[in-house]
Amino acid sequence: MLVRSWPLALVRFHRSVLLTSSFFLLLSCSSVADNVHSGTPQGDSLVQSNPAKVYAANRKMASAAEILARPQVPVLCYHQIRNWRPGDSKQAKDYIVPEQTFAEQIKMLHDSGYHSISTNELYNYLCYGDALPSKPVLLTFDDTDLPQFTIAKPVMEKYGFKGMFFIMTVSLGRPNYMSREQVKQLSDAGHEIGSHTWDHKNIKQYTDADWTTQIDKPTKTLESITGKPVQYFAYPFGLWNTAAIPHLKDHGFKAAFQLSAKRDNNEPLYTIRRIIVPGSWTAANLSSWMKHSF
């Protein structure tokens, strides 16, 4: 498929460079996009046929220090959107936002003047300094839970908001998880689809085979569903290490999202911070946090 043809060529090119030189490990913002436009004939022809890519190719990417110096955009992370059940532990409730609470939080964001942005907008802001709307916020959803489609999608769309959904492909079509068709509908409605691996294995423990099972196959699956490239990744459990980052570049990702640990000094694009919105937070709690924490 066209969307995948040039990244695969790039992956091979990039892998050979990585194997022979540690130089790339030291590059901070040497994202895939930076190298896409310098290499293969397919990449060049694609660039020439797309004015937006020509523009991107001619722009200088920010250094890691420049990216770290930009004001951070709040990135919220949601898991389950459902009402609490008697058996839910206190800890579990951090990951379970009741339906009404979610609706109130999103309404608060809208009524307070926040604008939801896409991951691509965040990327272009970080890398090129592109302007963002006032009071930007990026809404992300992990783990493929069905209520993200049935509950969160209509609430967001009521206010003109879009989300990034990080999909764990092993769950597609299972009870209480989204189906392939629902992922397609999210994408068609203008929401973004990112990778959250095949079955949520901790990236720190990957073998060579895991880079195929947990990364390449899910990317192909999601791209075949949406017809769009998968360019962004969310670390399972928010856990990452510096050893994984060259692999993520090698396997075609432009940026990756963790949770709330400090960003890496050399790789801020691959350690973008997010905050899990606890189910116990009222809209007022979230409002206060938005003002003071980023």
Q: How far is the CB of 186 from Zn ion (least distance, A)?
A: 17
Between 236 and 246, name the residue whose CB sits nearer to Zn ion: 236
* Amino acid identity at 178: M
Between 107 and 200, name the residue whose CB sits nearer to Zn ion: 200
Q: Count interface residues toward Zn ion (CB under 5 A).
A: 2
Between 36 and 203, name the residue whose CB sits nearer to Zn ion: 203
- Name the one range near Zn ion by CB under 5 A: 33-41, 55-63, 142-150, 175-183: 142-150
Residue 232 · residue 253 · CB < 8 Å: yes
- Name the one range near Zn ion by CB under 5 A: 21-29, 117-125, 136-144, 176-184: 136-144
Q: Taking Cα atoms as reference points, which of 45, 64, 41 lies closest to residue 54?
A: 45
Strands (E), 99-172: 115-116, 136-142, 163-167
For the chain, the first-to-last Cα distance in angstroms comes to 40
Q: How far is the CB of 173 from Zn ion (least distance, A)?
A: 18
Q: How far is the CB of 257 from Zn ion (least distance, A)?
A: 11
* Amino acid identity at 91: Q
Residue 147 · residue 80 · CB < 8 Å: yes
Between 132 and 239, name the residue whose CB sits nearer to Zn ion: 239
Give the Cα separation of 21 and 159 in Å (integer).
48
Q: Taking Cα atoms as reference points, which of 190, 156, 196 lies closest to residue 178?
A: 196
- Name the one range near Zn ion by CB under 5 A: 18-26, 137-145, 211-219, 250-258: 137-145
Q: Taking Cα atoms as reference points, which of 248, 240, 232, 237 lies closest to residue 271?
A: 240
- Name the one range near Zn ion by CB under 5 A: 135-143, 147-155, 157-165, 225-233: 135-143
142, 145, 192, 267: residue in contact with Zn ion (rule CB under 5 A): 142
Residue 212's contacts (CB-CB under 8 Å, 6 or more residues apart) are none
Q: How far is the CB of 38 from Zn ion (least distance, A)?
A: 34
Burial (CB count within 10 angstroms: exposed 0-12, middle 13-18, buried 19+), residue 222 = buried
Between 142 and 192, name the residue whose CB sits nearer to Zn ion: 142
Is there binding between residue 145 and Zn ion (CB under 5 A)?
A: no
Residue nearest to Zn ion (CB): 142
Q: How far is the CB of 92 from Zn ion (least distance, A)?
A: 14
- Name the one range near Zn ion by CB under 5 A: 41-49, 134-142, 216-224, 268-276: 134-142
Give the Cα separation of 26 and 29 in Å (integer).
9
Q: What residues pair up with 192 in beta bridges, in sequence order?
A: 164
Q: How far is the CB of 234 from Zn ion (least distance, A)?
A: 7
Q: How far is the CB of 218 from Zn ion (least distance, A)?
A: 13
Is there binding between residue 143 and Zn ion (CB under 5 A)?
A: yes
Residue 64 · residue 28 · CB < 8 Å: yes
Q: Which residues bind Zn ion (CB under 5 A)?
A: 142-143
